[in-house]
Amino acid sequence: MNNIFIDVDYAQIYKHGQKIGGDVFLLSRNPDSNQIVCTLSDGLGSGVKANVLASLTAHMAHKLSFSPISLSHSAEIIMDTLPVCKERKISYSTFTIADIHYKENMSNINVRLVEYDNPLSLRFSGAERITWERDKNELQRKGAFKKEIVQYSTFDMEIGERLIMFSDGVSQAGLGKSLPLGWRLGGVESFVKDLIAKEPDISSRELSSAIVQKANSLDGMCSKDDITAVVVYIRRPRKTLIVTGPPFTKESDEILGEKIRAFDGRKIVSGGTTALIVSRLFNAKISVDLSCWSPDVPPASRMDGIDLVTEGMLTLSQVANVLEKKIPVASLPNNPVKKFVEILLDSDQIHFIVGTKINEAHQDPNIPVEIGIRRTIIGRLRSALENIYLKETSQEYL
């Protein structure tokens, strides 16, 4: 795994009273071309109509960004395709596209940015804002009352730098209420600068959530528009080791202990038998942790040197379900599944050590199929982490 990680995440709150958002964010990675594409589109108005228009724009932009067509030409195609509101004579949706390219070793991270009618993106190196030049292209579309400006820029990003994109629900937060002219770009910049200064290593997930929550508070906790913030952060990876299942032979127990001791990062042990082996190897006591408990999953345990100790198959299966369905962490009950998911989402590189000894307890035909095969569940976890959350994963058997 690389020693540099591109951390991309977003947070979103719908307009108060709406059950569907008019802002749409898409995130995809193509490992074959070493490319990550982030697309944020804001549909005119709110609700279903805005969502359909924003979804159309975002998916079109996303597909074109992965095509051989240049990003500037792609933007023109999107603009020509987007309808114009007959009454307001403005586009039905706006968009920001960040097309990120990198080399195999994560060096030379280059960003191609296209911005159309969304608030201008912000860049930071640490807590200091970075300014850069943008090229402007004026387009006159049929039905529009004025020429529209699409802005293009290209820049390299280094470790410690962040790119922040957001919809006008952020920049206009507090408009006519706590702030007569809204939060505006300067207010967002000051908030982000102060937050990074206090928490230099704040993750993209935490920073985007903080921006959205602040915007919502400026609206009096009654959002007047869809609020979306996206953060791209270049940093050293946060690593997690997940050990599940006893090794195939007892002689391999010591090898497992050496791997756990040598790992530089957070450590999770999943499975009762596995926990007993690690406890013996580390000469550490296991105690039940009743601070996070629910009737749906066995409680976690505590062990010195290990960040989280859980039951095996049932817990792993539920973690996989949460990740696959993209269930918000805040909505989860306070149990080991929530703790497990929080650690995974705060990690960039996850390494699995999977024991291959057959556990006779899982041969009962009455046990559900989805928790019957450890390797299948690990496969689901890795797929969700890589494809949905753009994490890097690896696996070895013991």
User: pLDDT tens digits for 266-295?
Assistant: 999 999 999 999 999 999 999 999 888 788
Nearest CA to 396 among 250, 251, 241, 282? 241
pLDDT in tens, 122-165: 999 999 999 999 999 887 665 555 677 889 999 999 999 999 99
Q: Between 47 and 60, whose confidence is greater? A: 60
Nearest CA to 13 among 219, 165, 182, 175? 219
Which pLDDT band holds residue 368 (cuts at 50, 70, 90)? very low
- Return the half-sphere exposure (C-beta side, CA atoms, 13 A cut-off) of residue 374: 25
User: Is 81's pLDDT higher than 80?
Assistant: no
Please give the model's pTM, rounded to 2 decimal places.
0.83
What is the torsional sign of CA 308, 314, 320, 326?
A: negative
Non-local CB neighbours of 294 within 8 Å, separated by 6+ positions: 333, 334, 335
User: How many other CB atoms are found less than 10 A from the CB of residue 3?
Assistant: 10
Per-residue pLDDT averaged across 251-270, rounded? Answer: 94
CB 117 within 8 A of CB 91: yes
CB 97 within 8 A of CB 75: yes
Please provide the distance, in angstroms rounded to a whole number, between the alpha carbons at the two ends of the chain.
20
Strand arrangement, sheet containing 349-354: 287-289, 300-303, 306-310, 266-270, 239-244, 349-354, 392-397
Domains and CATH numbers, the chain: 5-235 (3.60.40.10), 239-397 (no CATH)
Pairing of strands 122-125, 109-116: unpaired
User: How many other CB atoms are found less than 10 A from the CB of residue 376?
Assistant: 14
Q: Spell out where 73-226 has E strands.
A: 93-101, 109-116, 122-125, 128-130, 135-139, 148-157, 161-166
DSSP state of 283: T
